[in-house]
Amino acid sequence: MEYRKLRVIISGGGTGGHIFPAISIANALKEANPETEILFVGADGKMEMEKVPAAGYKIVGLPIVGLQRQLNLHNIINDLKVPFKLLASSRKAKKVLKEFKPEIAVGVGGYASGPLLKAAQKLGIPTLLQEQNGFAGLTNKLLGGKADCICVAYEGMERFFPKDKIVMTGNPIRSDIVPATVQMVHDGIEYYRLNPGMDHILILGGSLGSGTLNNAMKAWIEAGCPGGENTEVLWQCGKYYKAGVDAFMEEMKAKGMNLENIHHTDFIGRMDLAYAMADVVISRSGASTVSELCAAGKASIFVPSPNVAEDHQTHNAMALVRKDAALIVKDADAVKDLMPTALALIKDEERIQTLEKNISALALTDAGRTIVDEIYKVLDR
């Protein structure tokens, strides 16, 4: 296929689960043709406004906000503003499209992509959607009928979209996430200053951190870390929770606890090395993380977040659990059951090997380039 220079708008965001696939698609477009021009459109005040420029791309923010799930005075006031912000976002989206003149608009989900993709469809600009989850998000479901192509990562998505528009591509992930070599394992242990003679658990709470996973760790530590005599933990607690976890750890040390085998941090930069050194990974089941764990081939325990729309994360996790490719612990049971489950797994080498084999079989590692090919196919049509 000839990859000619394009003008592309990519829209969506709100969480890392939308932003990082969007950046991966942009990177794949640039690899196909370095002269391709790309503009991102996100939501003012959301993390894409920081992460996208850090990746080297221009972004325009819309004043869009989403409906709040919890009922309180602040959220009620916020929801009353939604129609006005939606109207303002639609006007700005139309203006951006007319000024940038993209050949195609790509939507990666999240409410920020709604006004932009809707305006593009009204203006006759081709649109491609990328749905990361096993249960389609509301924005993509609303846009799917008029989209030219819908790239998905899970089977059975004809429940949500026209079957003839669906292409199984997988989720685009960072290119450095691959099955660990012996050298990568060594480098990961050295980079994170771990003990090579111990087992290693990696705990990931997503881009914003997870109160449930943090509370499960705290409960285990308070109990004296039972069963963890030969285990080190690399614990990503999240920026929002870091100060509280710092204070907790100092309190436990003041009580005489030896916590040298527990390493907590708000953010993990070298995720490739973190995956490489881990024997077992505990994680929320956001779509991007699930795809990365498939690519890394890691024995994983998922704790789906109950705080996401339409219970996406449970659908994502169960797609693997049904194929004996991962374990699941319910959010409500995590404080009691999560660490005992992880420690039982880390001692069962045969079970780890089965999970690693089955999760690796589900990996779709070239999703970014496949989506780029679909973009060019849409334009060729």
Q: Annotate 134-201 with DSSP letters as a single string.
A: SS--HHHHHHHTT-SEEEESSTTGGGTS-GGGEEE------TT--PPPHHHHHHHHHHTT--TTSEEE
* Nearest-10 crossing angle of helices 287-296, 16-32: 60
- Residue 66 has what pLDDT? 57
Q: How many CB atoms lie within 10 A of CB 56?
A: 11
pTM over 0.95: no
- Least confident range of 92-106, 268-282, 301-315: 301-315
One-letter amino acid of 260: E
Domain 182-360 has CATH 3.40.50.2000: yes
On the question of a common fold for 7-173+365-380 and 182-360, the answer reads: yes
pLDDT higher than 60, residue 121: yes
Which 3 state secondary structure label does DSSP give 312?
helix
* Domain 7-173+365-380 architecture: 3-Layer(aba) Sandwich (3.40)
Using one digit for the tens of pLDDT, what is the confidence trace for 299-351? Answer: 999 999 988 767 889 999 999 999 999 999 999 999 999 999 999 999 999 99
Measure the CA–CA gap between 379 and 127, rounded to whole angstroms: 10
- Residue 288 has what pLDDT? 87
Q: Where are the domains of the chain?
A: 7-173+365-380, 182-360
- Residue 282 has what pLDDT? 98
Taking residues 35-59, report their average pLDDT. 91
Mean per-residue pLDDT over the chain, rounded: 91
Q: How many CB atoms lie within 10 A of CB 300?
A: 29
CA 10 to chain centre: 17
**Burial of 108 per CB tally in 10 Å (0-12, 13-18, 19+):** buried
Contact predicate 47/18, CB 8 Å = no
Taking residues 135-163, report their average pLDDT. 92
- Residue 82 has what pLDDT? 60
